[in-house]
Amino acid sequence: MKNTLLLLPILFLSSCSTASDMDNTPIEQTQTSIIEAVKNGKYDLVETELKRGVDVNSKDQNGKSLLLISTEANDLKMARLLTDYKADVNQQDNRQDSPFLLAGASGLTELVKLFLTKGARFDIFNRYNGTALIPACERGHVDVVKMLSNTKDFPIDHVNRLGWTALMEAVVLGNGSAKYVEIVQILADAGCDISIPDKDGVTALEHAKSRNYNGIVKVLEKMKAK
């Protein structure tokens, strides 16, 4: 009994020391764990680490920020948490993807909407020197195209490194189906410049005619006649 009583204070002190060690873990050492927590959707753990002062713009070995990782997973709840702690929606990784650019290219409408309210910039471009709108048009993401085309000051006529506008990509890289006709109509209604040619001097209308995309031709010819 006497030996047992002597051990109790030692066990108590040992327990206190362990808790203290956890509280005093260097913030730098938690950056790897917060990346894993974001990947695994551990919201409470992420918030706890952010409250401790871990950098909300921490990056993995590929330069992907916490917010970019959550965007890749289409994790709107995590993205909201991170942006509440001022995560940078424009921070680019080693491939020049940012949360905003990737959300647009991937057709993640709710994330695009969120990032527009959190300081999304329109003068930061992807590795093709393109906007979030251009790949959205290429991939047929109608809702994102509608949102960005009607966002004040969005550069709908920006020309990327390939020499293509959003309209040009919708025509050249689309398939002329109904959703691409709708995208072209959205761009036309938003006042895009249909006269901007590609590097070879060929316009979107001429490309549409050569591919027999009659629905797109109809929209652009009507636009040209105005």
- pLDDT tens string 164-202: 999 999 999 999 999 999 999 999 999 999 999 999 999
The mean per-residue pLDDT over the stretch 71-87 comes to 98
pLDDT band for position 29 (50/70/90)? low
Q: What is the pLDDT of residue 26?
A: 52
pLDDT band for position 28 (50/70/90)? low
Residue 52 pLDDT exceeds 50: yes
The mean per-residue pLDDT over the stretch 196-216 comes to 98
Nearest to 133 by CA among 141, 145, 151: 145
142 close to 183: Cβ distance less than 8 angstroms: yes
**In the Cβ-directed half-sphere of 98, how many Cα atoms lie within 13 Å?**
23
* Residue listed under structure tokens 């251009």: 134
The mean per-residue pLDDT over the stretch 93-104 comes to 98
**What is the chain's mean pLDDT, rounded?**
90
Q: What is the pLDDT of residue 30?
A: 67
Q: Which residues of the chain are in CATH 1.25.40.20 domains?
A: 29-121, 130-226
User: What would be the CATH architecture of the domain defined by 29-121?
Assistant: Alpha Horseshoe (1.25)
Q: What is the pLDDT of residue 32?
A: 81
Residue 124 pLDDT exceeds 50: yes
pLDDT band for position 1 (50/70/90)? very low
The mean per-residue pLDDT over the stretch 109-126 comes to 98
Q: What is the pLDDT of residue 64?
A: 97
User: What would be the CATH architecture of the domain defined by 130-226?
Assistant: Alpha Horseshoe (1.25)
Residue 76 pLDDT exceeds 60: yes
Nearest to 108 by CA among 70, 82, 54, 81: 70
Q: What is the pLDDT of residue 3?
A: 47
Q: What is the pLDDT of residue 22?
A: 37
